[in-house]
Amino acid sequence: MEMKETIMKIGGDLKNSAEKLAKGTIDTSKKMAEKAKIKRALSQAESSLNAAYIELGKKYEELYAGKAEAEFAQILAEAADAKAKIAAAKAELAALDSASICAGCGKYVQEGQRFCPNCGMKQPTPAEAPAAPAEVVEPVVLDADGSEVVSE
């Protein structure tokens, strides 16, 4: 009978070990899921905060671009420089696509379109510049000492 009792004891010990392992795995999984949920909420809150800071900066620029306090002047100058570079790059890209940039929404408007397909703003028509008459340039004649010879 001792053998049977030993086997039963080992079986009970294995069952207890398996239950502890399963419970530990379940607890670990729950903990990991809770951590993921908290990290996702944290990331969303950080994104919201960054968006608020961006909006704050944009509003400050709108209100105080010309009269900013000294500590913000450099940042606003960098922002203005970046905006100019962005506008120039967008214009170059648009030109490569035979398009222009809408002054209303900043989207591409194909050449020949009278209205922006995105916002509906009327697009300026290219002004037909009158052709300037060709200027006739008389050749300049110089003498040996480099002074201009005037012909009459």
Distances from the Cα of 86 to the Cαs of 72, 81, 95, in angstroms? 21, 9, 14
Residues 4 and 57 in one domain: yes
Say how far apart CA 46 and CA 43 lie, in whole Å.
5
Say how far apart CA 111 and CA 126 lie, in whole Å.
10
Residue 133 counted as domain residue? no
Residues 2 and 52 in one domain: yes
Residues 98 and 53 in one domain: no
Say how far apart CA 44 and CA 50 lie, in whole Å.
10
When pLDDT is averaged across residues 91-108 and rounded to a whole number, the result is 86
Residue 31, domain extent: 1-64
- 135 Ramachandran zone, left/alpha/beta (phi>0; psi -120 to 50): beta
Residues 1 and 36 in one domain: yes
Confidence band (pLDDT; 50, 70, 90) for 129? very low
Residues 41 and 59 in one domain: yes
Look at residue 128 in the predicted model and tell me its pLDDT: 39
Q: For 20-52, write each residue's pLDDT tens digit.
A: 889 889 989 989 999 999 999 999 999 999 999
The pTM for the full model equals 0.46
Tokens 């049977």 belong to 4
Residues 74 and 116 in one domain: yes
End residue of a domain, out of 18, 45, 64: 64
What three-state secondary structure class fits 115?
Answer: strand
Residues 57 and 92 in one domain: no
Using an 8 Å Cβ cutoff, are 65 and 76 in contact? Answer: yes
| Number of domains making up the chain | 2
